[in-house]
Amino acid sequence: MSLLKKFATVGGATLGSRVFGFMREMLMAAAVGTGPAADAFNAAFRFPNTFRRLFAEGAFNSAFVPLFAKEIEAGGMDGARRFSEEVFGVLFTVLMAITIVMELSMPVLVRTIIAPGFVDDPVKFETTVRLTTIMFPYLACMSLAAMMGGMLNSLHRYFAAAIAPVFLNVILIGVLATAWWQGYNPLEVSYGLSWGVMAAGVVQLAIVWIAVRHAGMKIGFRRPRLTPNVTRLLILALPAAITGGITQINLLINTAIASSAEGAISALVYADRIYQLPLGVVGIAVATVLLPELSRALRSGASVEASNLQNRSVEFVLFLTLPAAGALLVMSEPIVRLLYERGQFAPSSTVTVGAILGLYGLGLPAFVLIKAFIPGFFAREDTRTPMIFAGIAVAVNVSLAMTLFPHLSALGIATAEIVAGWVNAALLFFTLVKRGHWGSDRALLKRIPMLVLSAALMAGLLHYLIIWLQPQLASSAPTVIKAATVAGLVVTAMVVYFGLAFATGGADRSMLARALKRKAKPAPEAPSPE
pLDDT reading at 6 higher than 70: no
The pLDDT of residue 167: 86
Grouping H, G, I as helix, E, B as strand and the rest as coil, residue 75 is helix
Phi-psi region of 33 (alpha: psi -120 to 50; beta: other; left: phi over 0): left
Q: Which residue has the higher pLDDT, 218 or 241?
A: 218
Radius of gyration of the chain (CA): 23
Give the pLDDT band of residue 369 (cuts 50, 70, 90): confident
Mean pLDDT of the chain: 80
The pLDDT of residue 332: 93
Average pLDDT over residues 270-296: 67
pLDDT reading at 48 higher than 60: yes
The pLDDT of residue 432: 87
pLDDT tens digits for range 331-341: 999 999 988 88
Average pLDDT over residues 75-81: 76
Give the pLDDT band of residue 522 (cuts 50, 70, 90): very low
HSE-CB at 61 with a 13 A cutoff on CA atoms is 31
How many other CB atoms sit within 10 Å of the CB of residue 232? 14
Grouping H, G, I as helix, E, B as strand and the rest as coil, residue 8 is helix
Average pLDDT over residues 145-168: 77
Q: How many residues comprise the chain?
A: 530
pLDDT reading at 455 higher than 60: yes
**Alpha carbons 147 and 209: distance in angstroms, whole number:** 10
Domain extents for the chain?
36-244, 263-522
pLDDT reading at 291 higher than 60: no
The lowest-confidence range among 84-93, 358-367, 447-456 is 84-93
Residue 521 DSSP label: P
Which pairs from 477-485 meet CB under 8 Å and 24+ separation? 479/338, 479/342, 482/334, 482/337, 482/338, 483/338, 485/334
**Alpha carbons 103 and 92: distance in angstroms, whole number:** 16
Phi-psi region of 436 (alpha: psi -120 to 50; beta: other; left: phi over 0): left
The pLDDT of residue 57: 54
What percent of the chain is predicted at pLDDT more than 70? Answer: 81
Residue 227 DSSP label: -
The lowest-confidence range among 49-58, 229-238, 310-319, 521-530 is 521-530
Q: What DSSP letter does each residue of 365-402 carry, written as one string?
A: HHHHHHHHHTHHHHTTT--HHHHHHHHHHHHHHHHHHH
Residues 6+ apart with CB under 8 A from 209: 145, 148
In whole angstroms, what separates CA 478 from the centre of its chain? 33
Give the pLDDT band of residue 343 (cuts 50, 70, 90): confident
Average pLDDT over residues 190-199: 92
Q: Report the candidate in 133, 408, 463, 174 with the shortest Cα–Cα distance to residue 268.
A: 408
**Alpha carbons 31 and 342: distance in angstroms, whole number:** 9
Q: Report the candidate in 8, 6, 523, 9 with the shortest Cα–Cα distance to residue 215.
A: 523
Give the pLDDT band of residue 229 (cuts 50, 70, 90): confident
Q: Report the candidate in 181, 137, 176 with the shortest Cα–Cα distance to residue 37.
A: 176
Q: Which residue has the higher pLDDT, 196 or 280?
A: 196
CA distances 170 to 120, 137, 193, Å, are 35, 19, 12
Residues 6+ apart with CB under 8 A from 433: none
What pTM value is reported for the model? 0.68
The pLDDT of residue 280: 66
Contact 219, 84 (CB under 8 A): yes
pLDDT reading at 313 higher than 80: no
Residue 221 DSSP label: P
The pLDDT of residue 294: 62
Give the pLDDT band of residue 418 (cuts 50, 70, 90): very high
The pLDDT of residue 525: 35
Q: Report the candidate in 127, 110, 89, 95 with the shortest Cα–Cα distance to residue 47.
A: 110
